[in-house]
Structure 1
Amino acid sequence: MKVVLTPRGAARVLARHPWVWQSDVRTLPDEPGIYPIYGPRGPLGWALVNPRSLISVRMFHFGPADDPMAALWRNLERALEFRQAAYATEPAAGLRLVYAEADLLPGLAVDSYARHLVVQAHAAAWEPLLGELTLRLEAALEPAGILAKHDAPVREREGLERYVRTLAGRVPERVEVREGAVRYRVALARGQKTGAFLDQRDNRLLLEDYVRGRGFRRGLDVFAYEGLFALHLAPHLEAVDVVDSSAAALALARENAELNGAANLNFTEANAFDLLRAKERAGERYDVIVLDPPAFAARKADRERALAAYKEVNLRALKLLAPGGLLATASCSHHVPEADFYAMLASAAADAHRVVRVRERRGQGWDHPTLLTVPETHYLKFALLEVLT
């Protein structure tokens, strides 16, 4: 069976966006799978199709293909080739190997934690392909083990069950990962996302380079989760305050601090908004502050509320910084565009009466590439700011 799109759906595919909404599809099969996609004027390519999903069509190949399955697996080969050098030379690192739509493998993410792979497949058509996917990952990478971490709520919207199970090899409860000089443990089956937030790895290493040898004394890591930013700061500061609202996250951060012998970290379980206001009232000062909050805008309708929340925490942080201090601040909300993020930072700086210079303007790491025609693949904004007065 072929899947036929409306003119609007076909226009999206011709503009090289892989997603077509259910409302822009004229004919759909009864079951998920891989199908040829047609527009009013003829064939457009091949896609993962799910009639039960709002995103019914996820393109993986544009144009004709004599063997669509070969085209799909060639996309996997290209994704792995792109990261092969890092995988080979950094065996203890955390690395994204497959980044979904950006690798033309829609709905699929594969991360490596010290050669232990975690797979997340959020498109229904991947489910019967997991066996073949596992064999290909084993052949290409020889990992220690492969885990399917299919516990995200998004699977329910695809009509899929949620589960976590080992697909190949041995997957321990915890794996130790290296990031520069920092070591940290990842709970593969129980951690957030695939276990950790690899998209900030390059930014954590960058921040450590900036603070090294600067003579800074105090640091503050807010929304710290496993404490990875704090661990990169710890060797170069006298003390770092580590803040998160989750006791479980702070327990992981403490464990990682012990693993690295970082005795200068102080842990506080608190609401970030309340804590920052309290520190401002107390007249505290910091040389380095990190703000890495969760996505405040899960939907487009949340955008204005999210910008207000981002402004609040950044305003308070700017007021807490000593002259010459650094603010490393991020947003992982796709629905907050980069231009709006920097406009918010400018507004916060003006209201804080601080002169602020942008030292670095960055996004997610190199292993999370962006497709120009798919703005959803560019979600992380990261700014390194310096307070001049």
Structure 2
Amino acid sequence: MARLMEIVVPTSLRERLAQGHPWVYRDHVPPHVRLPSGAWTIVRCGAWRGYALWDAEGSIALRIFSTRRLPDAAWLRERLTAAWNLREPLRTAGVTAYRWVFGEGDGLPGIVVDRYHTVAVIQAYSAGVLTLVDDVASMLLRVDPSVHSVALRTVAGSRSAADAGDEGDGDARLRPLHGELPPREIVVVEHGMRFAVALHTAQKTGLFLDQRENRRFVEDLAAGRTVLNCFAYTGGFSLYALRGGATRVISVDSGKGLAAATARNLALNGLDDGRHRFETADCFEVLEQYAAAGQRFDLVILDPPGFARRKENRYAAQRAYARLNALGMRCVTPGGLLATASCTTQVGPEAFREALAAAGALAERQLRIIHEAGQPLDHPVPAHFPEGRYLKFVVGRVEELV
């Protein structure tokens, strides 16, 4: 085996690296380093050392995989098996769609694997990590022989799994790595609810895996309530609200084909019983119209796409969240509930709560938080990698000012 290049980084990084943070940015790497993407290196920081994968482009130059040994087949199997075992409660509960590997959260920086029934879909978030996908695909089959198909979803432009959340990127495409290319549609199950997922859709699959438990939480709130679900996508929250006993549900999203996709999911679950209506429209505009007309709902759900990908855009994102949630609050009946989410990595939990407080001031309402959640167990967040915490989900009681 060829001798690995050793890269010495500033000692100012030692505490963070010792804690387990998996990234070294390019401006912390000596400028003379020239390696092809995918080359293994040894990183030294004082007495600390680790084994990292090099990327020739992008802001992250090094992704650290291990401090013990150079990753090999046995190491990879250990990591994938650990990730598999962590998801056992989901399989026991009959869930057939979940994130098998969540990149840095499972000790495999830049690698995501989503499981849809017997299909595994890999995403690699850099050119360096892309060199590992064939080995990952082979090892997935050894960890779980029931996998019939493994495909690669090519994704560009994200630093990590957390940056893309469960949305993916617009230029994503599938190519088979093992077995045949997955079918155009797969029906999966979560908590007894059936969803049709379209794995070949460029941007999204038809189901946000990270909102699974939050959808279920909404189900328990829905009995006897009227519900407005904005940014409904293919109706996930709406279906749970209907199953929970909502008297009326309106889903709103501007996306082409989403009304038909939602109708498909309603039919799969026998919920197309006249209590639901889909409006293909801009959610901000619909909320403004409802607020102006005095249209109120007992429960308003806001689950927008990310508002910022770069740190310098986080303040604009907070303002957007404040405006959106102010509109949402104005559409909630006094004493009703607002369920609101943020998948923007650059806006942390505290900043999101600040945006909700600002929204209350704009709407002349107060929001009393009764529930907060983050990501489910298949999207773990290591204590040493706070960047992995991207999802915020808040439920609050909306009250008029006194």
The answer to whether TM tops 0.5 is: yes
Residue of structure 2 equivalent to 1:6: 10
Kindly indicate whether the alpha-carbon contact (under 8 Å) linking 2:137 and 2:150 is maintained by their aligned counterparts in 1.
no
> Percent identity, aligned pairs only?
34
User: What TM-score results when the alignment is normalised by the length of structure 2?
Assistant: 0.87
1:230 matched to 2:238? The reply is yes
1:26-175 counterparts in 2 under 5 A?
26=30, 28-39=33-44, 41-42=46-47, 44-62=49-67, 64-65=68-69, 70-87=74-91, 89-90=92-93, 93-154=96-157, 163-170=173-180, 171-175=182-186
Rounded Cα–Cα distance in structure 1 between residues aligned with 2:159 and 2:394: 35
* CA separation of 1:107 and 1:96: change in aligned 2, threshold 3 A: same
- CA deviations on 1:210-242 (whole Å, 9 max, x unpaired) are 224xxx342111011111001111131122111
Task: Give, as a single letter, the amino acid of the residue that structure 1 aligns with 2:148.
Answer: G
Rounded Cα–Cα distance in structure 2 between residues aligned with 1:308 and 1:155: 23
Task: Give, as a single letter, the amino acid of the residue that structure 2 aligns with 1:324.
Answer: G
RMSD of equivalent CA atoms: 2.4
- CA deviations on 1:81-108 (whole Å, 9 max, x unpaired) are 2113433x35552111101001110011
Q: 1:268 aligns with which of 251, 268, 279?
A: 279
Q: 2:340 aligns with which of 315, 321, 329?
A: 329
1:219 matched to 2:223? The reply is no
Kindly indicate whether the alpha-carbon contact (under 8 Å) linking 2:197 and 2:205 is maintained by their aligned counterparts in 1.
no
Kindly indicate whether the alpha-carbon contact (under 8 Å) linking 2:44 and 2:50 is maintained by their aligned counterparts in 1.
no
**Gap runs ≥5 in structure 2:** 161-170
Rounded Cα–Cα distance in structure 2 between residues aligned with 1:323 and 1:370: 36
Rounded Cα–Cα distance in structure 2 between residues aligned with 1:285 and 1:345: 19
Residue of structure 1 equivalent to 2:164: none
1:350 matched to 2:384? The reply is no
Task: Give, as a single letter, the amino acid of the residue that structure 1 aligns with 2:233.
Answer: Y
Task: Give, as a single letter, the amino acid of the residue that structure 1 aligns with 2:175.
Answer: R
* CA separation of 1:169 and 1:289: change in aligned 2, threshold 3 A: same
- How many residue pairs get matched? 381
Rounded Cα–Cα distance in structure 1 between residues aligned with 2:366 and 2:226: 21
Kindly indicate whether the alpha-carbon contact (under 8 Å) linking 1:28 and 1:51 is maintained by their aligned counterparts in 2.
no
* Greater mean deviation of Cα atoms: 373-382 or 68-77: 68-77
1:328 Cα deviation after fit: 0.7
Task: Give, as a single letter, the amino acid of the residue that structure 2 aligns with 1:16.
Answer: G
1:71 Cα deviation after fit: 3.2
| SS, match of residue 365 in structure 2 | coil
1:244 matched to 2:249? The reply is no
1:349 Cα deviation after fit: 2.0
* CA separation of 1:276 and 1:325: change in aligned 2, threshold 3 A: same
User: What TM-score results when the alignment is normalised by the length of structure 1?
Assistant: 0.90
Task: Give, as a single letter, the amino acid of the residue that structure 2 aligns with 1:31.
Answer: P
1:303 Cα deviation after fit: 1.3
- CA deviations on 1:105-162 (whole Å, 9 max, x unpaired) are 00111111123211111233333433322222112222443343433232799xxx96
Rounded Cα–Cα distance in structure 1 between residues aligned with 2:51 and 2:159: 24
Kindly indicate whether the alpha-carbon contact (under 8 Å) linking 1:199 and 1:364 is maintained by their aligned counterparts in 2.
yes
